[in-house]
Structure 1
Amino acid sequence: MTILIGYVPTPEGEAALEAGIAEAATHGDDVVIVNSGRRGATVDADLVDEPAGAELVARASAAGVDARVDRSLHGANVMDTFDALVESTGARLIVIGLRRRSPVGKALLGSDAQRILLDATVPVLAVKPAA
């Protein structure tokens, strides 16, 4: 089976990567590291380049996990990318990292993580970075 890991180069993304690789190694799954940029954006600090992507794959390989990086572009709703990948890979789990948000931020602002938590068709493992 496959595990999708939502990854951005932040402490939250690192926490998701570590948890996803550990889960995959435990259950013999492969992983797809999803590093999806917004369609039409000219600059996106959350995107990893080829060498950084190769390093992520090497980290998974060191744990005995087959991995690849998916850089599919998404529109207004990143969930479309995850839905397509769940369908095409048969993924059984999505792993994402969460950051701390204030109650006002939670009430007023949507987030990609919130959309994934609410709309995913497979279970979602949400992790936080170590304090």
Structure 2
Amino acid sequence: MTGTVVVGYIPTPQGIAAFERAKEEALLRECRLVVVNTGQNGDFATPSFATAEDIDAIGRELRDAGLAHEVLQATSGLGAAEEILRVAAAESAELIVIGIRHRTPVGKLFLGSTSQQVLLDAPCAVLAVKARTTA
């Protein structure tokens, strides 16, 4: 097994879509999957910081799929983009998978964008995934 796929995960439709696609990519590439979950700007009480049950379920799903994996809940206080980029560099990742959501231009201007920072600063290819919408 060579290579690593890194995925930024939060328990939202976008995060779940990114996780599912990253799992598919790791299986296709026959490589290791590293799941990165962070709090929002170092706050581990936010909904973006996955529960222990979420982390256990991810681990079970990846074990059942036969994937070599690691699930990291970062507590460094770095922002989500910085943590994903740090892990990708440390792991010499061949791919980063992130979930994206639609944001208005004004929202991007004032709030910044984790996905934009990852796309611009990544040391490897980045796959941006949108959650599926139901009609």
Does TM, normalized by the shorter one, top 0.5? yes
The structure carrying a bigger strand percent of its residues is 2
Deviations along 1:51-78, whole A, 9 cap, x unmatched?
Answer: 3211112112222212221111354643
- What is the RMSD computed on CA atoms of the aligned residues? 1.9
Could you tell me whether the CA contact under 8 Å between 1:79 and 1:120 is conserved in 2?
Answer: no
Q: Which stretch shifts more, 66-75 or 112-121?
A: 66-75
Report the TM-score when normalising by structure 1: 0.88
- Counterpart in 2 of 1:30? 32
Measure how far apart 1:22 and its partner are. 0.2
Cα pair distance change 1:123/1:104, threshold 3 Å? same
Aligned residues: 131
Amino acid aligned to 1:123: A
Deviations along 1:25-45, whole A, 9 cap, x unmatched?
Answer: 011111111001245526211
Could you tell me whether the CA contact under 8 Å between 2:81 and 2:115 is conserved in 1?
Answer: no
The SS at the match of 2:11 is coil
Could you tell me whether the CA contact under 8 Å between 1:30 and 1:66 is conserved in 2?
Answer: yes
Identity of aligned residues (%): 35
Could you tell me whether the CA contact under 8 Å between 1:25 and 1:65 is conserved in 2?
Answer: yes
- Segments of 5+ residues of structure 2 without an aligned counterpart are none
Partners in 1 of 2:86 and 2:105 — Cα distance?
Answer: 31
- Counterpart in 1 of 2:7? 5
- Counterpart in 1 of 2:120? 118
- Counterpart in 2 of 1:65? 67
The SS at the match of 2:38 is coil
Say whether residues 1:83 and 2:85 are aligned partners.
Answer: yes
The SS at the match of 1:8 is coil
Partners in 2 of 1:80 and 1:74 — Cα distance?
Answer: 10
Could you tell me whether the CA contact under 8 Å between 1:74 and 1:80 is conserved in 2?
Answer: no
Partners in 2 of 1:111 and 1:72 — Cα distance?
Answer: 19
Cα pair distance change 1:65/1:76, threshold 3 Å? closer
Amino acid aligned to 1:126: A
